Each structure stands twice: as structure tokens, then as C-alpha cells.
Structure 1
């Protein structure tokens, strides 16, 4: 009986990582479309400038997001929020 339980636990441990990888796959066409969009805003793949790679790709992604009307994080914000208590003057 213990060997059956142990085998079930091992099988579960092997299946869970495989299921998590299957959820995040994108197609080759999606990658090519994203690359074409980045190139349309001035990013050039393989131009030999490895020293500025992170900044170049981030700048191209920011231009693309601005062109598409997207924000970097989250959706469109509406309304106001307030945190903390009342303000105290420096004289106090």
C-alpha cells in the first residue's frame, strides 16, 4: 500500500511542472509579429550593440506601448485615492 502512495506522489511531482510549462507557450508567428512591431519603432536586432541591449529593447517597448496607448503597469486609472493622515505643519 505504501508503494502505491509513493508512486502516486512521484507521478504527481513529475506531472505538475509539465503542466505549468504548457500554459506559457507562444507561437513562432506571435514572436515574429512582436519583433516586427519592435522594429517598426526603431529597434534593430543584431546590430552589434550588445552594450546597450537592455536599454534599447526597453526604450523600443516603451515607444510601442506609447504608440498603442498602453501604460507600463496596470490598466487605465480612474478616480482618486488618499493615504495617510492629515498634514502637520513644520511649526508643530
Structure 2
């Protein structure tokens, strides 16, 4: 009985890491790649007019613009408005003496 418990425990310990690696992220679908390319093109990147000398800089700039647009779109999802600036005080006025 004791050997059986040890064997089951050992099997569980050895198979747990395998199960965690099996849950990898799915690759992008064709539709997702096309949507990302459309976003980058709308941000100003033109793959047909790409010059080898400007290649990394122009696509990185377009990707940065897309990331900034996505960040702005996600930051305004709370429904509570923007961050308040300034200060205020609360409480009752001091009684006149």
C-alpha cells in the first residue's frame, strides 16, 4: 500500500510539468494577421513602398503608433472619466466665534 502511494505521488509530480507545457498559446490565425497588417497600414506603413534602408525604422514607428492607439482605447474603458487633477477639501465650515 505504501509503495502504491509513493508510485502515484511520483507519477503526479512527474506529469504536472508536462501538463503545464501542453497549455501553450495558440498561433495567430490568418484573419488576425490580416487585421494586424491593416492596422499597421492605417498607421502609415506601406509595404509596397518600403525601402530597405528605412525598413526597420518605418515599420517600428507604425507599430508604435498602433500600440499607442490601442493603449488609449483600452485606458478609456472604465466609464469613470479621466484622472482628477488638483485637490479639494471636505468637511463643515468652522463655526464663527
Q: TM-score of the superposition, structure 2-length normalised?
A: 0.52
Q: TM-score of the superposition, structure 1-length normalised?
A: 0.54
Residue of structure 1 equivalent to 2:13:
9
Paired residue total? 77
Query: Aligned-pair RMSD on alpha carbons?
Result: 3.5
Q: How does 1:45-56 map to 2 (within 5 A)?
A: 45=47, 47=50, 49=52, 52-53=55-56, 55-56=57-58
More helix by share: 2
Unaligned runs of 5+ in 2: 77-81, 87-97
Q: How does 1:21-32 map to 2 (within 5 A)?
A: 21-22=24-25, 25-32=27-34
Residue of structure 1 equivalent to 2:72:
71
